Every structure is written in C-alpha cells, then in structure tokens.
Structure 1
Amino acid sequence: MRVDLFNFELPPERIALRPARPRDSARLFHVDGGKPFVHRQVRDLPQLLRAGDMLVFNDTRVIPAQLEGLRGEARIGATLHKRIDLRRWQAFVKNAKRLHEGDLIRFGANVTAIAEKRLPDGSWTLFFKGDEPVEVLLERAGRMPLPPYIAGKRPTDEADRKDYQTIFAEKDGAVAAPTAALHFTPDLLNALEGAGIGLETLTLHVGAGTFLPVKADDTQDHQMHAEWGCIDKKTASRLNQVKQNGGRLIAVGTTVLRLLESAVNEEGQIQPFSGDTSIFITPGYRFRAIDGLMTNFHLPKSTLFMLVSALMGLERMQAVYAEAIAERYRFYSYGDSSLLLP
C-alpha cells in the first residue's frame, strides 16, 4: 500500500508535552465496531469492558538511555535502542561523522564507551567499559529518552523520570515507554478487578526504532525494526484460557499487540515466546490473538497508524483521527487514549 494513504494533518498544539493528572483522567475515544463514536475517560474502562475480559500490559521499564559525551573535543549524542549483550548496546548517534571505530566516548560521571562498529543502518555498537552493570551507569549519566516530538519542545526534567514510566514497569530494557499503560492508576486497577476484568503482563523492550519515520513510498519496501519480547508458558496458558472461556484479550498498547500476534499460531493459540520480533502489521493482516486494543494517538504515516488501520479499517481510523483532532484530543506519548474494538 502507498504510505501517503496514512498521512493526516495534525496541528502542533495537539501534541501533549505532559501527561494528564491524575493519569486516569485522560480522555478515551471509544470505537466499538461500526457503532457511533463515544467520548469517555480512561477511568470509565470498567464500564466499557465485560466481566471475563482480560487487559494485557507490557511490564518493560524504560532506562535513561540518552547520553551526551565527548570524543576528544567533538560532542557526541547517543540514544541506546537495543541490547546486544551485557556490555554492548546498539545506539543511534548524533554527530556520527566525527566518530570512528575504536574511538573512546566519555559520557561523564565516570561512564565511558568504545565505538566498536558502525552498522549498515548507520547506528553504532557501543561497548561500555568497567565492571558495573550498564543499567547502573545509565542511571548515573543518562537521561530519560523522551520522543523527539516532546524533547524538541522542552528539556527533559526530573518529573519525566516518573511520568515516562508505567505502573507496571519492572524489567529494565526499554528505551521508549509502552505509553498506552501510562494512564493506569492503582484505583483504576482495583475498579477493573472489581468488575471481573483480568490483568496480565508480558515483556517487550520497546526500541527507539518505534519513532523512526517510514521512508519508503510503499509499505512493502519498509524494513521494520526488531524488538525483544518474552511470554512464558504460564502466561500463555492463562491468556488462552481467557479465550476458551469466552473472554476477550484486549492489548494495552501496540507493543503488547505485536508480541501477542508474533506468538500466536494459525489456530489462534498463543505460544510461549522469547526472542526478537519485527512483525509489521498493515491493512489486510488477519488478527489471531487479540480482540481489541487500547492505544494512544499515533504519528502520520507511522507503522503504528498503519497497525490501527489494519485492525479497524483505514477509512474508519481516518474518521476517528479527524474527530479526535476536532474534539481537541491530546496526541502521542503523553496524550489521550482510544479503545478500539473491531
């Protein structure tokens, strides 16, 4: 499909620079099949779902993956986006033309890394020196990796260390938040459980590649980035049991949806999974694992807008986004949410 079919005009003032407070007060655009659109709040979820349904969350934790340093006198910026091993990370690098293989980068706070190798996509393999875990080094020298549409408008601050982390954050490794889950609070979780709605977690470490633009003119020519995810055997069994009992699996975020659809077999059974996924979902895809999706509003011509268009239909999502803009919804990572039930 032509990528320009997924374009739309978004007024810059619709981009949220801070999350809603409290988090569950964010607006929720409810799209249920072909029924008329309904505008609610995230805290209304217990009334919009059914007893026996299950919400599935991503328990990845965002690490402070943005670094600023020096190679000699040259300023170097690095955004880590995928772990290679205990001491190596793949990173996007600013001012990379000043970098050569074997160069030492000093990031401050006694954190140094060697630029080991430039990769075919232009990113670099960085080897972090020392004995301390890389996560400890990042806590000392790194900043939260806010997406460019926020970081370009204001500096990262201490509030982001908490704001850009979900209530489920447990396993270190993401360099972007699974933002659909940013809206959840302890009160909302209690209300969902009281309504008989199940809660489950799995892990997908979101990479910075999620913000990369689609440069191809046709979707079939786009190379999707890979991210590491895991669903253990017990979790897969619980998810399958929900469907066997007639409940619906609602993915909270596109990261959860992509992992579940990577792990499902042709018969619709979710299998244990551990490894990379680079699944790219566009209109025409047949969903086998999920029955609905809660997700924020995405960028024009992005792989994520293509994904929601695959779930609900392109014309339907074009109408949803047009109405969301007219109704002054807040867009992107810190913005409002939608509940999409095909």
Structure 2
Amino acid sequence: MKAVNILIAPDSFKGSLTSLQAANAIERGILKAASCVGVKVDVDKVPMADGGEGTVEAIICAAGGRMVRTKALDPLGRETDSFFGLLPDGTAVIEMAAASGLNLLKPEERNPMKTTTYGTGQLIKAALDYGSRKLIIGIGGSATNDGGTGMAQALGVRFLDAEGKEIGFGGGELSRIAKIDVSGLDPRVKEAEIVVACDVKNVLCGPQGASAVYGPQKGATPEMVKILDENLRHLAWIIKRDLGKDVLEVPGSGAAGGLGAALIAFLDARMKPGIEIIMEITKFEKKLKEADMVITGEGSTDSQTLYGKVPLGIGRMACKWRKPLVCISGSLKRGYEALYAEGITAFFSITSGPMTLEEAMKRGEELLEKTSENVFRLYFYSR
C-alpha cells in the first residue's frame, strides 16, 4: 500500500507553542491515528512564520544553518540575551522581536513613548560583522513606536534637535528632530541586500497607521496615540526633506511602529510578505505538490488571518494545486469563514470544551496532538 504523504506547516501558537513544537504535536497525533487504522504515512514538517516570533527558528529548521547568540538592548534599553540566524549561504535571518519585541516586557512596562528599536539595529550590525551581505528581517511582534529611529541610531544615523544634540529613545522624542545626519551610517549597509518580512500593509500615519492600529496593544493611551501619530508624521517630513524619500504612504511603512519606514529610508530595504520568503527558502511549493494532504494552524484564526498570515498563504497555494488543507487553531473567531474561499478545506479548534485562555495555552501541545489525531482518524477511515 502506498504511504499517505502529509505536509505539516503550522505557524506558532503565540504564547503557547513555537511553530516547530506545533508541527511535532500535529505529527504525533497523525502517527497515532495512522497506527490505529493501519495506514502508512510519510510526514514532512515545515514550521512556518510570517516575520514575527519564531521566524529564525522556522527558517533554520527548514533550510539549515545555525543560531548565533549575541547581546542587544531590549525595548527599554537594558542589555539582554538575543540572537539571529545564519544560513549556509551566509544569509542572516533577524527577527526584531528578539531584541525589540513586546514579549520582552512586562505588561506594566509597555510604553511606546519610551521603547526603542536600538537592539534591532545592533542585531543588524552583528550580522554585518559576521560577513552577511544578505539580511532577512522579520518585523512582527514589536513593542515600539519610534519610527525605527533606534535601529538607525545603532547603525550610525544621528537624529539632532534644534541645538544639535541627539534625541533620546522612544516615540515621544521624535518631535524634537530638526535634522537627520546619515554621514555616520555603517557603510556596509550599502553593500547589503535587505529584505523585510512583513505581513501588514499599514501606512505610517492616520487611522490605519502604526500608532492608531497597534499603539494601544503596546501600552499607548488615546492621548499617547495622538502624540505618537503626530511625531511619526514629523519624522516622515524630516526624512523627505533631508533624504529625499517619501515614506508616509508606503504600504508596510507603519509596520513595527514605523520600523518599516526606517528600513526603507535608511537601509534601502524592500518589503515582502514573510510567508512568501519562507516558502521560497523551504521550496514549499514543491513539497505541497507532492502531498496528499496539507495541515496548518495558528494561535487564533479570524479576519486578521486574511492580512498575510500563514494559513492564508498556504491556503492560496493549496487551492492552486487542488490539495485538501486543514487548519487546526487554538481558537476560531469572527471572520475565519472567509478563508474557505482562499483554499482552506476545513477548520478545527483545539479546545475540547469550556476552558480559560490560560488553560488552553498551557495545554496547547496536548490539545493540538489530540485534535490532530481525531481529524486524521476520520481522514484515514474515509480513504
């Protein structure tokens, strides 16, 4: 009997499981189901990510390479342990969340008026020190709203006030900028190809901008949101005047509190959906074409998944090759039904009964394995 070829490609279940842990749990469930019904299976695991936490692990797991440990400043300027990935061809993979992520702060520490992307700039510098001249930078999960000024400062850019003094850290400082001096920018940046893994299309300012949409989850009050939005607009005006680059309305410029804008303005980076980058690196389409069944998942599937999240990208490719695709998620919320039209065959939630979010996250691995086993018992019996 020919073995059933199953491709497992989940995103992380944020706060509960990495994408690799999720893939392993799904695999265990599939193998249990196959054992019970006497079916032979070939499982191929490709942990996925979209630019946020887990991007480095997912890419290294699929493409090889190693993790490079280093130090960087966290969002509040404290030294912390950090890392980036180094692929066999010398490409560096950086996730800004490893230095400037919301996960590095306690809830009471969140304050986008003060948080900085300086640590992300340090990771870029460390990658350049290792000789990397192609960098993939994932910018999901940020704790910042500083327009990427911290990142640029770490690479030698100076943001000067009216008295010629450098501004401090955080989105609250941007209104002080009178001049941008790029003469000290690390010259190696010009030699590098920089690709930004970004799953959002938000512009820098306005109702759909960085501050209004993402500021509150980073600790911004309504009053702060207004100040931060005005400050980012001021930064964009100075960038246009001093650098000749208009970043205000560029899709993705508002990602990571405006880090997207800074990467474009100072590093000449180009934006690309994170899921597409990982699919290319992992040769995902080839793997999918050979699969009989594909399975994905994420922490919460809802209307936001339509904005470039992992299940959407996999769904569209599964639709292209007419492959059945099951999405198993921590929860299914309003709007997930729209993804049926994007190639996802069926959806399942791992919660088996009434339980708190805390309990579901704590038991995520167990629940994902059990749900996968149940799904594939049905699938195998129906073949």
With normalisation by structure 2, the TM-score equals 0.29
Higher strand share: 1
Higher helix share: 2
Give the number of the structure whose alpha-carbon radius of gyration is greater: 2
Specify which structure has the bigger relative contact order, considering alpha-carbon pairs within 8 angstroms and separated by 6 or more residues. 1
